[in-house]
Amino acid sequence: AMAGGPGGGGSSEPPMISLLSVGLPVIAEGRVRNYVFLGVRLHVAPNHNLAPLRLKEPYLRDALVKAAHRTPFTVAGDYSRLDPAAVNRVLTAAATSLLGRGVITRVEVVSQLPRRRVRPPAA
């Protein structure tokens, strides 16, 4: 009875897969300028079982890291954050490939923590 947590029944939160603390490089002018640690949530369609999907979490994480090294998600003039739209595109494509079409309904970047504060390049 206590497995449902406070409030009795099941959880009121939508089903999701969380990718916490994925370190991605900020690359500018061919050099790594910083790393940003992302927290990302993948919202799952309600008719899917989370248990087998969560087993694919390392593959989603790997696809994101590889894509960030191939084509960095760097925001021009800012070494302390990444482009959430680029992260969304990559994770949506990776989720479709790994989990199937329509399994992930939305990708949400919930946090961006830079490894260190870096001044943007002088204009």
Domain count, the chain: 1
Note down the domain range covering 24.
14-114
Residue 91 lies in a domain: yes
Residue 6 lies in a domain: no
Residue 43 lies in a domain: yes
**pLDDT tens digits, 41-68:** 999 998 888 889 999 999 999 999 999 9
CATH of the domain at 35: 3.30.479
pLDDT at residue 10 tops 60: no
Residue 66 lies in a domain: yes
With 0-12 CB in 10 A as exposed, 13-18 as middle and 19+ as buried, what is 103?
middle
Structure tokens at 101: 């079409």
Specify the pTM. Answer: 0.79
Gyration radius from the chain CA atoms: 17
Residue 48 lies in a domain: yes
Residue 49 lies in a domain: yes
